[in-house]
Amino acid sequence: MKTRILGNSGLEVSTLGLGCMGLSFGYGPATGKQEGINLLRAAVEAGVTFFDTAECYGPFINEELLGEALAPFRSTLVIATKFGFRDGDSHKGLDSSPQRIRAVAEASLKRLNTDVIDLFYQHRVDPNVPMEDVAGTVKDLIAEGKVKHFGLSEAGVQSIRKAHAVQPVAALQSEYSLWWRQPEQELIPTLEELGIGFVPFSPLGKGFLTGKIDEHTTFDKTDFRNVVPRFSEENRKANQKLVDLLGDIAKQKEATPAQIALAWLLAQKPWIVPIPGTTKLHRLKENLGGADIELSAKEIHEIDTAFSAIPVQGDRYPSHLQQRVGK
């Protein structure tokens, strides 16, 4: 597995990271503990050095899982976690008060079984706490040796600039994929200007771009895709054209749709590091194969042209969650 450096931060990570949320939260019942440990360790053996978690994934159990599974390899890995929700519960609203940030840092260090957090993200911008106070608190934690790098998740350009002026931001984590390209408008040019790395989550469109989901797919009642407008039965049927197109391109390259979607992201900028998530070993292997596929400028142009002719149907979040992003 090759490596990339996130912007000007000097933070070097594997070309593809692993988004760990789905092992514990968001996509149906949590994976069994041993199964989760096996998957995480298989990722390490395959060359993944970048793991993404958050206190609210569970809450708390995802960090504990990583803490146990990755302990034998800790010195060679980069672990990112996040603060920003009241009591660590994403259903309770936002809280990025300085005292909460400090409390999360201490608790996450224990759960992750480590003495330092490599990358500490604000999970969502808190409109009730000045960004300067958030960045200043993380700056203090960095000075104390508890955190190495500061990150933001789903933040807008104004917040990124405010934070970066106080404490350099190593990475922005936001959704970006072939079927969510809004970051190209403002975010990516700003990140390039400031020297900030980009960590796209849901690089496979929450699974849709794999070609394994169609209008007839049913999700577990605890799967949050049930409330995502883009995943309504009607919109899945309309968006199938995108997946069919991706499948045609994949056949030409003797790859899978997921691998082409990831290769396309990696080709956008050298400081982009996607974090596809999975609970299955064979999917992990498939996704990591995307890092070995090189798309030519001509192929990228053909993909962009073809996809631009097919409008995506449905919003990526229900309205109450959409209100928390891009602030």
Q: Catalytic residues, which ones?
A: 57
Amino acid in position 319 = S
Q: Looking at residue 175, what DSSP letter applies?
A: E
Give the span between the Cα atoms of 136 and 139, in whole angstroms.
5
Give the span between the Cα atoms of 279 and 20, in whole angstroms.
8
Nearest alpha-carbon partner for 246 in 297, 291, 307, 289: 307
Give the span between the Cα atoms of 199 and 175, in whole angstroms.
8
- The encoded tokens of residue 140 equal 């203090």
Give the span between the Cα atoms of 49 and 307, in whole angstroms.
32
Give the span between the Cα atoms of 18 and 3, in whole angstroms.
14
- The encoded tokens of residue 244 equal 């069919």
